[in-house]
Chains A and B, each alone.
Chain A
């Protein structure tokens, strides 16, 4: 992990994005027509045969704001995905944005046949008919959740990290034991909260915020000593949202089972099998690994806390 590069210049980000866009298009193109059996989806999983919300279109959804590094760029002059920390998912940039378009491509949808709508996290699992075909919003796969909605195969292996700011009591923490006395916070509905309760087991009950922004505000205000969140988001907080942000480290996984993010679909959706096979194919042909390298790079892991 490089400590010298704490911030990425805007121009550099844009240039990087252009290069990455080109590369991901190339990757998607390579994996499309001339695919080996392992990296292609079943014949029934083609655009014409898929039961999508709007014929000929794949309706994708995420929460607004859409954060880096999951989504990237394109919010200049935006009216929907607006704000300094927001990103336009339809640019196909950022890890989830790129994965979304790669999945669409596998199912036969061109980039201009992909439509983005915004859905709040809770809307994604409210009972009844959904407005979206696929929802990508860093949702961790859990058996209890799969009672309410369908998950695709995981497209990202998650690790939980701890972020803090200079002057915090845990700024110099190097072990899980050092975090015991900390006042920690996490976003609601995240497995980060489970990580606090099951791995760190702090003396003070964790603060639970509706959004990561509120957790950041609480950390900046000294209301809490640290935030537990997925590692790429922890790096993003350090680099973009916090003044004097510090990555404390990465937590081991609780149960030994690897936590993964999955694509959310309506319960019993006819798309589930096809989307899962598309994710499998992207995994098999190395697309996921490439996208991970492009968008998350060295921010996928942090020094391990033991």
Chain B
């Protein structure tokens, strides 16, 4: 009884406070004398509807790019994480290389890597080296996101208590078997939400390809923006990205909640 009533009261308070904040925001933005100008420049109905088909059409490039990239990033990131996790002294060069790799590609702005690879490498005119901007955009995104994703994997692997591996070794599993059948299955389950998080980041970063002249959704919007001196097409692109990314962020939240529940259930 009391619990139900307090839940109802909670909902009511949440609704009222949300409405209050939304109203204050709307009134304060709308009361600005230059709001009509901003509205016309950023939220124009006609420019929205005329830009929508063009931007959706161009978004196909973004989809191709992030799907292909993710397919390559997931295994590559895992390999790098494993390279960094190997403690054997003989593999020190591999470990050092993997560490430098992740440090470098997590530390350099993606846009710079795109510039150097996309404009620099083709200029070398090496026979057999692809020149297509799409290819170099893909390479850049794979290089950068593999570095991020490898760190996510590594955090997952390190979150598994060492006793798990020792127990597996005590049961007669080799080091590799312990990793393959005991540590990784648990680690991977744990890192699904952060991996999806990086996937969302990757989807948004596909807009960086535009630098190389590829007309993807963001570039298409920029073209329309500059042709008409109106920023609304950029808002159209924002909406399309949100349509793709919001369901994914919800999924991440749900998975994280499920994971938490499962862990708490396990600790009973």
Q: Which residues of A contact B (CB under 8 A)?
A: 121-122, 125-128, 142, 144-145, 147-149, 185, 188-190, 193-194, 205-210, 214-215, 217-218, 220-224, 267
With A142-B227, A223-B131 already in contact, the answer to whether A214 and B119 are too (CB < 8 A) is: yes
| Inter-chain contact B123/A220, CB cutoff 8 Å | yes
User: Closest CB-CB distance, B37 to chain A, in whole Å?
Assistant: 4
A127 adjacent to B38 (CB under 8 Å) = yes
B contact residues around A189 at 8 Å (CB): 222-223, 225-227
> Is B213 among interface residues, defined by CB-CB distance under 8 A?
yes
The verdict on B200 contacting chain A, using a C-beta distance below 8 Å, is no
Residue of B nearest to A217 (CB): B119
Number of A-B residue pairs having CB atoms within 8 Å of each other in the complex: 99
Contact, CB under 8 Å: B226 / A223: no
Most buried by B among A194, A209, A221, A267: A221
Q: CB distance A144 to B123 under 8 Å?
A: no
Interface of B is mostly: helix
Is the beta-carbon distance between B133 and A223 smaller than 8 angstroms?
A: yes
Max chain A Cβ within 10 angstroms of own Cβ: one of B121, B125, B228, B231: B228
B211 at the interface (CB under 8 A from A): yes
- Are A209 and B229 within 8 A (Cβ)? no
Task: Enumerate the 8 nearest inter-chain pairs by beta-carbon distance, A residue then B residue, closest first.
Answer: A189-B226, A207-B213, A221-B122, A148-B229, A127-B41, A221-B123, A125-B229, A144-B228
In the complex, the answer to whether B125 meets A218 with C-beta atoms within 8 Å is: no
Q: Does A149 contact B229, Cβ atoms closer than 8 Å? A: yes
Cβ contact of B213, chosen from A147, A218, A222, cutoff 8 A: A218
Contact of B212 among A125, A126, A188, A223 (CB under 8 A): A223
Judge whether B94 is part of the interface by a CB distance below 8 angstroms: no
Report Cα–Cα, A223/B115, bound state, in Å.
13
Closest to B125 in A: A222
Q: A188-B219, A207-B214, A223-B212 are in contact. Are A126 and B41 (CB under 8 A)?
A: yes
Assuming the A-B contacts A125-B229, A128-B34, are A221 and B119 also in contact, with contact meaning beta carbons closer than 8 angstroms in the complex?
yes
Q: Mark B34-69, 1 if CB is under 8 A from A, else 0.
A: 100110111000000000000000000000000000
Q: Which residues of B contact A (CB under 8 A)?
A: 34, 37-38, 40-42, 118-123, 125, 131-133, 210-215, 219, 222-223, 225-231
Q: Is the CB–CB distance between B219 and A208 below 8 Å?
A: yes
Quick check: A127 and B40 within 8 Å, CB to CB? Answer: yes
Assess whether A147 is in contact with B215, with CB atoms less than 8 Å apart: no
Q: Is the CB of A148 within 8 A of B223?
A: no
Question: Contacts A193-B223, A217-B119: A148 and B213 contacting too (C-beta < 8 A)?
Answer: no
A110 vs chain B, min Cβ distance (A): 32
Q: Name the residue on A nearest B120 (C-beta).
A: A221
CA gap between A144 and B227 in the complex, in Å: 8
Provide the bound-state CA to CA distance between A149 and B230, in Å: 10
Partner of B122, one of A125, A149, A210, A222: A222
What is the distance, in angstroms, from B226's C-beta to the closest C-beta of chain A? 3
Report B-chain residues with C-beta under 8 Å of the C-beta of A145: 227-229
Give Cα A131–Cα B218 distance, bound, in whole angstroms. Answer: 27
> A217 contacts B229, CB within 8 Å?
no
Q: Are B131 and A221 in contact (CB under 8 A)?
A: yes
User: Taking the nearest CB of chain B, how far is it from the CB of A137, in angstroms?
Assistant: 12
Pair B223/A188 contact, Cβ less than 8 Å? yes
Closest to A139 in B: B229
| Minimum CB–CB distance for B49 against chain A, Å | 15
CB distance from A53 to the nearest CB of B (A): 17
Chain A residues near B123 (CB, 8 Å)? 217, 220-222
Q: Contacts of A126 on B, CB cut-off 8 Å?
A: 41, 231
Write out the residue numbers on chain A whose beta carbons fall within 8 Å of the beta carbon of B131: 221-223
Contact call B122/A144, Cβ cutoff below 8 A: no
Least Cβ distance of B131 to chain A in Å?
Answer: 5
Given pairs A223-B119, A267-B37, 12 additional interface contacts (CB within 8 A): A127-B42, A142-B228, A144-B229, A147-B228, A147-B230, A148-B41, A148-B229, A193-B223, A207-B212, A207-B215, A215-B213, A221-B125
Query: Given that A127-B34, A127-B40 are contacting pairs, would A148 and B222 also be in contact in the complex, using a CB cutoff of 8 Å?
Result: no
What is the distance, in angstroms, from A129's C-beta to the closest C-beta of chain B?
8
CB pair B41 A223 closer than 8 Å: no
Instruction: Give CA–CA (A267, B226) in the complex, Å.
Output: 16
Q: Is the CB of B229 within 8 A of A214?
A: no
B59 to chain A, nearest CB (A): 15
Partner of A188, one of B37, B41, B226: B226
Pick from B125, B225, B227 the residue with the most CB of A within 10 Å.
Answer: B227
A128 to B226, CA, bound (A): 17
A5 to chain B, nearest CB (A): 27
Cβ contacts under 8 Å, A224 to chain B: 213
Residues of B within 8 A of A222 (CB): 122-123, 125, 131
Distance A145 CA – B132 CA, assembled complex (angstroms): 33
- Nearest-neighbor residue (CB-CB) of A128 within chain B: B34
B34 CB contacts on chain A under 8 angstroms: 127-128
- Inter-chain CA distance A145–B219, complex, in Å, is 18
Nearest-neighbor residue (CB-CB) of B44 within chain A:
A147
State A218–B118 Cα separation when bound (angstroms): 9
B226 touches A127 (CB 8 A): no
Give CA–CA (A206, B229) in the complex, Å: 21
